[in-house]
Amino acid sequence: EEVREAFSPPPRRPSVINVLEHAFGYMSDGLRPEERRYFLKLLSEYRAGHIPASVPREVLRSWVIRFDVQYLAEQTFFEPFPSELLLPLDSGKGEE
């Protein structure tokens, strides 16, 4: 089962949008109007293909932490694989 999941294709954009909207709706009452507008702008940019899903997902993750929403914190959407498997995007060159 786990091997099959590891090699399954990534979710399609409409499915990701649905998850993002659902999670947003779960927390939107606690957000300021500016935060809601900002997230909806990011969602629109993702829908148009201008930004990766990770951008609105990480904003949502910060709200999951802020509001301590355990139901959402446990979802693999926010951490689909162990962080140890992530490749660093910044090589650190030039840092002292």
User: Does residue 88 fall inside a structural domain?
Assistant: no
Q: What is the mean pLDDT of the chain?
A: 85
User: Does residue 87 fall inside a structural domain?
Assistant: no
- Count of beta carbons in the 10 Å neighbourhood of residue 39: 21
The boundaries of the domain holding residue 38 are 12-79
Write down the pTM of the prediction: 0.75
CA distance 78 to 34: 23
User: Does residue 59 fall inside a structural domain?
Assistant: yes
Tell me the average pLDDT across 5-14: 76
What pLDDT was estimated at residue 84?
A: 66
What pLDDT was estimated at residue 95?
A: 47
pLDDT at residue 34 is higher than 60: yes
pLDDT at residue 33 is higher than 70: yes
Closest CA to 72 of 16, 17, 33, 22: 22
User: Does residue 85 fall inside a structural domain?
Assistant: no
Domain count, the chain: 1
